[in-house]
Amino acid sequence: MADTIAAIASGLTYGGIGIVRISGSQAFSVGDRLVRLRKGQLAEAKSHTAHYGFAYDGETPVDEVLALVMRGPHSYTGEDTVEIQCHGGPLVMRRILQAALGHGARLAEPGEFTKRAFLNGRLDLSQAEAVMGLIQSQNEFARRASLEQLKGSVGEKIRELRGKILHQIAFIEAALDDPEHISLEGYQEELEGMLLPLLEEIRGLLKGAERGKILSDGIRTVILGRPNAGKSSLLNLLTGEERAIVTEIPGTTRDTLEESVQLGDISLRLVDTAGIRDTQDQVEKIGVERARQQAEKADLLLCVVDSSRPLNQDDQEILGLLEGRRALILLNKSDLPAEVSREELEGAAAAPVILFSAREGTGREELERRIREMFDAGEIGTNQQVTITSLRHREALEQAEKSLNLVLESVRQGLPEDFYSIDLMDAYRQLGLILGEEVGEDLVNEIFSKFCMGK
């Protein structure tokens, strides 16, 4: 933290503008040795102002630049910061960075600017993680969820929950220290009355976390069906390109094929699989087994049924894989004379049936609507509720829920009040992990090591 650090904050590629960021107690002195302004010096400049000049490497001019001055604590890192905006060429940015290092800065580690923002109290740990979530977001839902977390939605909610727990801990400790003036008579009922809604809030966050993680990462969607049902045609339709080979020869698809597609503002991680049927072909048999394995790991199953052919034993086996799963049945080739009716399929499987034609593209809008409804994507994507997308946050919430359940169990068993404090404190600590108030240095380093250089 005593060092002044520097790194390229924009992508190291060709572009209109490149940014070299310098942060730390010597940021202005490094900046003044690096940039020669037309007038004045950076060390004398007002905060949040831009200054025109030339960047030099020794006595060699490197580029015409703008230098932005941000004084701590009102900067991203909470420290004095200089950002040099140059022309966006890799060679230019490298030369300016090398010159900054030569003037006393050291190269920043991955994520070190955001790590300093966390350590200086500018961001809590949930907000710091949201920065990387925003950068890595692959769909509109992930972007919105990360932005809300960066604005402090998760931290605010967790602080509220911790405040309620801390109040109870403090009351119990005070009553045990001063029983003459603070009575615990009837306290068990009061504590239970606090715990029940608190647990409901945590369970609500956990329920949203499952959907949130799926929607943020993309819904793992496995396409199932017998050979020539139209699985590969569906993949090609949704991706908008000929990604899978389509022929009239059964068993063309021998292995899984994965693609990511956007349906509105949600992402699907599509997995096309070999047609499931009883076969003696050894290679095709391996493909069929892989299809079954992929089905077990899926968030969503899309079962494609050929409406122009009667249902057979293979179809019945595939429909059996949908039991108890999030699944949709696409009655494909609806543009051809039908041998299978929608009513027949609805009676054979407990999953919604959509009339579909991969050739004509009909049924796609209903497919998107059904998926959104199935994962509550519309609700999560548009309202202001707190959405948990981090596995680390989810695990901390699960542990906090477990500890609070132990408190509730102790209350109902009539155990002494000092038993409550132990588990209440553990729940308080677990929630503190989300904010970064109860984390060790190793975990902090691990989290920020996953960040990109310059952020």
Instruction: List the domain boundaries for the chain.
Output: 5-121, 131-213+388-435, 224-294+306-322+331-358
User: What is the structure's pLDDT at 55?
Assistant: 96
CA 227 – CA 230 distance, rounded (Å): 8
* CA–CA separation, 164 and 207 (whole Å): 21
Supply the pLDDT for residue 337.
82
Instruction: Kindly give the pairing relationship between strand 300-306 and strand 327-332.
Output: parallel
Q: CATH number of the domain at 5-121, please?
A: 3.30.1360.120
pTM (2 decimals)? 0.75
Instruction: Specify the pLDDT at position 205.
Output: 93
Residue 177 corresponds to which amino acid? D
Long-range contacts of 133-136 (CB under 8 A, 24+ apart): 133/216, 133/389, 133/390, 135/452, 135/455
User: Which structure tokens are listed for 301?
Assistant: 């199953």
Instruction: Identify the burial level of 169 via C-beta atoms within 10 angstroms of its C-beta, where 0-12 means exposed, 13-18 middle and 19 or more buried.
Output: middle
One DSSP character per residue, 125-137 reads HHHHHHHHHHHH-
Question: Selecting from 3.40.190.80, 3.20.20.70, 3.40.50.720, 3.40.50.300, what CATH number does the domain 224-294+306-322+331-358 have?
Answer: 3.40.50.300
Q: How far apart are CA 299 and CA 196, in angstroms?
A: 31
Distance (Å, whole) CA 224 – CA 204:
32
Domain 131-213+388-435 in this protein, CATH class: mainly alpha
pLDDT at 279: 58
Distance between CA atoms of residues 438 and 428, nearest Å: 9
Q: Is 102 left (phi over 0), alpha (psi -120 to 50) or beta?
A: alpha
Residue pointed to by tokens 């070999």: 274
Structure-token pair, residue 197:
């809604």
The pLDDT score that the predictor gives to residue 280 is 53
* Surface-to-core class of residue 178, CB atoms within 10 Å of its CB (0-12 exposed, 13-18 middle, 19+ buried): exposed
Per-residue pLDDT of the chain (455 residues; tens, 9 = 90+): 789 999 999 988 888 999 999 999 999 999 999 999 988 999 999 999 999 999 999 899 999 999 999 999 999 999 999 999 999 999 999 999 999 999 999 999 999 999 999 999 999 999 999 998 888 888 888 888 889 999 999 999 999 999 999 999 998 988 888 887 888 888 888 899 999 999 999 999 998 887 788 878 888 889 888 888 888 888 888 887 655 444 444 444 445 678 888 877 778 888 888 777 655 556 656 767 777 788 888 889 998 888 888 888 888 888 888 888 889 999 888 778 878 888 888 777 778 889 888 888 888 889 888 888 888 655 444 444 688 888 899 999 999 999 999 999 999 998 888 889 999 999 999 999 999 987 778 878 888 887 777 77
Element (H, E) at 118: helix 112-119
Select from 130, 104, 102 the least CA-distant residue to 117: 130
Rounded (10°) angle between helices 153-177 and 125-136: 160
DSSP string of 209-272?
A: HHHHHHHHH-EEEEEE-STTSSHHHHHHHHHTS--S---SSTT---S-EEEEEEETTEEEEEEE
